[in-house]
Amino acid sequence: MADIRIDSADGIATLLLARPDKKNAITDPMYAAFADALAAFAADAAVKVVVVTGEGPDFCAGNDISMFAAAAGGDPAASMINVRRFLDAISTFPKPLVAAVTGRAIGIGATMLLHCDLVYLAEDAALLLPFVDLGLVPEAGSSRLLPDRIGHARAFALFGLGEPLTGTDAVALGIGNAALPAADILPAAQAAARRLAAKPSAALIATKALMRDADAVRAAIDRDTAAFVERLSSPEATAAFAAFAARKG
């Protein structure tokens, strides 16, 4: 499967972003594979909980920027079809999602955490939301979900100033459950997943559904996606994509 690896045992499915040479930046086929895997896990009664993690030291460097550049020069809305399938799948996933995050979590690598139920972060993890610097706007409903979670002023410092957030600070702000040394992150997420897998699963699913305002989340994703698509072909964004492509030249 396209740079996504899945594995399932003892009620726990693991979804691994497996493109470490590119810091697990997510491509269109990876969005499609991620969405398909979540749909399969949702339908599989043997899967009680899903762990999401990344191969190598960095969780995820965000959307693959060459994909943005191609979208800007082509059909931006069409380029978002698999992204949107992924966002719908993760934001409506009925079973517990546990994230294990080390290193960098950039763009969608950070905003997807707002759709997870338990988040374990390396103390020195670096969350970064560089949408404005890329001439873009926040995605994945994060323009609403992040200020709802941490307050407007703090969210604006991340979006507007592009300030990075350490794992320790992210936990203090309520984005994660525990900040630990990097080597302890996956074991902590797996231990939590084992505890969840042993619980009455229908009660867990009902609890998660009660805790999430599905209509509000969908509306936030709709709003962000419309603005994001509009920004993709803006002069600010195309200049930023070209600068990324040229930075090692």
Q: Per rule CB under 6 A, is residue 25 in the interface with ligand COA? A: yes
Residue 23 binding ligand COA, by CB under 6 A: yes
Would you say 47 or 132 has its CB closer to ligand COA? 132
- Rounded Cα–Cα distance for residues 176 and 116 (Å): 9
For the chain, counts of helices (H) and of strands (E)? 12, 9
Binding of ligand COA by 107 (CB under 6 A):
yes
Beta strands in the chain (DSSP E): 4-9, 12-17, 49-54, 97-101, 104-106, 118-122, 126-128, 165-166, 178-180
Closest CB 106 distance from ligand COA, rounded Å: 5
Q: For residue 7, list its beta bridge partners.
A: 14
Q: Decide: is 104 part of the binding site for ligand COA (CB under 6 A).
A: yes
Map the footprint of ligand COA across residues 33-62, applying CB under 6 A. Answer: 61-62
Least separation in angstroms between CB 48 and ligand COA: 32
Nearer residue to ligand COA within complex by CB, 104 or 144: 104
Counting residues that bind ligand COA (by CB under 6 A) gives 16
Q: In a 3-state reduction of DSSP, which class is residue 178?
A: strand
Nearer to ligand COA, 130 or 147 (CB): 130
Q: Which stretch binds ligand COA (CB under 6 A): 4-12, 38-46, 126-134, 224-232?
A: 126-134
Task: State the pairing for strand pair 97-101/49-54.
Answer: parallel
Could you tell me the smallest distance in angstroms from the CB atom of residue 26 to ligand COA?
A: 8
Question: CA of 188: how far to CAs of 118, 121, 150, 181, in Å?
Answer: 11, 10, 24, 10
C-alpha–C-alpha distance, residues 138 and 150, integer Å: 15
Cβ of residue 123: shortest distance to ligand COA, in angstroms? 18
CB of 17 to ligand COA, least distance (A): 12
Based on the shown chain and the rule CB under 6 A, indicate whether residue 130 belongs to the binding site for ligand COA: yes
Q: In what order do the strands lie in the sheet with 12-17?
A: 4-9, 12-17, 49-54, 97-101, 118-122, 178-180
234 binds ligand COA (CB under 6 A): no
Q: Does 237 bind ligand COA (CB under 6 A)?
A: no
Residue 127 or 217 having the CB closest to ligand COA: 127
Question: Whose CB is nearest to ligand COA?
Answer: 107
Tokens of 229: 């698509």
Strands 118-122, 165-166: pairing is: unpaired
Q: Which residues bind ligand COA (CB under 6 A)?
A: 22-23, 25, 61-66, 104, 106-107, 130-131, 134, 248
